[in-house]
A and B are shown apart, each in its own frame.
Chain A
């Protein structure tokens, strides 16, 4: 797989990567201009550029410098090379199914924490771009069709907050099979229990069902739509970052025995 194909694949997975491109070099090395090295974040580089020594020089430069913006830097290696350091940095995407009262503050908060937000509902009055100025996309479509059309695996988070039980179930069924990130669904304990029982009877494995965050959100005593949105986003952040869902003060006390 060459650099562009690798980058496209990383972009589809919403992964970040450093990109090093040789933009100038000694006259006799014109053939290396435009050659690229892709270094996915948290991983080893994908192959090498020129040879292991040159590649190591690029990595050393990256490790020694904080990323601020795309820049050119010099590399001495049997002559003078210039490399361009760029980045693939994708916003993670969140899908909100249902465009009701909670969805509005939820979309706002997700945008603040830098998600690209997509919202869908089957009611034109609700799935309305004017109600969601922060959303990248607002889709008006029946949930059934929508779940067939959307590339669910590309979303880091799917939040199911439709207006009704039946639609929640339609969405959840497909999301559990196709999505790979966070899946959360709103509902009372009783409603969640009945949905889970139903899906189990339909043959969806316990393991798959265990991926569902329902009832959605952290227990912060949220009441208003905006508070519930905070509780959902808090749970999502904890999921993405491996957080413990606990007050930091409690952790501090348990460490310090007071």
Chain B
């Protein structure tokens, strides 16, 4: 976790913005980024940082926006190996687990 991200978290909390912190906690196979990569998702859909971009990131962002509504934290798995993923353009071919955490 780095300082710039922590500053962003502090700022969001100061402003009373309920954002979600996304952390890649595990990866298998080929994924764009590895465990420990982080991204903040704001309720208006803005993001700070990246967990690798592309469809997988967009998918996680949608999940995070839902989570912000429900105010709960959970693990979410993104599979980039199956045919559907290939059709959607997630070409890395790995599995990635992210933790969606309310801040």
A and B together in one complex: yes
CB-nearest residue of chain A relative to B36?
Answer: A70
Q: Does B58 contact A (CB under 8 A)?
A: no
B6 and A84 contacting across the interface, CB-CB below 8 Å? no
The answer to whether residues A4 and B3 also contact, given A23-B75, A34-B102, A86-B23 and a CB cut-off of 8 A, is: no
A8 and B6 contacting across the interface, CB-CB below 8 Å? yes
Q: Does B7 contact A (CB under 8 A)?
A: yes
Which range holds the interface residue count of chain A? 20 to 34
A5 and B1 contacting across the interface, CB-CB below 8 Å? no
Interface string of B25-48 (1 = CB under 8 A from A): 110000000111000000000000
What residues on B are CB-neighbors of A88 within 8 Å? 1-2
Q: Does B9 contact A (CB under 8 A)?
A: yes
- B19 CB to nearest chain A CB (Å): 11
CA–CA, A7 to B1, complex, Å? 9
CA–CA, A5 to B9, complex, Å? 9
The answer to whether residues A23 and B35 also contact, given A8-B9, A33-B73, A34-B102 and a CB cut-off of 8 A, is: no
| Contact residue among A5, A7, A21, A87 (Cβ-Cβ distance under 8 Å from B101) | A21
Number of A-B contacts (CB under 8 A): 60
Q: Does A19 contact B (CB under 8 A)?
A: yes
A30 and B72 contacting across the interface, CB-CB below 8 Å? yes
CA–CA, A71 to B27, complex, Å? 10
* B52-94 interface with A by 8 A CB criterion: 72-75
CB-nearest residue of chain A relative to B37?
Answer: A70
- B31 CB to nearest chain A CB (Å): 14
Q: Does A234 contact B (CB under 8 A)?
A: no
What residues on B are CB-neighbors of A21 within 8 Å? 23, 99, 101
B36 and A69 contacting across the interface, CB-CB below 8 Å? yes
Q: Does B17 contact A (CB under 8 A)?
A: no
The answer to whether residues A84 and B25 also contact, given A7-B1, A33-B74 and a CB cut-off of 8 A, is: yes
- Residues of A at the B interface (CB closer than 8 Å) are 4-5, 7-8, 11-12, 19, 21, 23-24, 30, 33-34, 69-72, 82, 84, 86-88, 90
- Residues of B at the A interface (CB closer than 8 Å) are 1-3, 6-7, 9-10, 13, 23, 25-26, 34-36, 72-75, 97, 99, 101-103
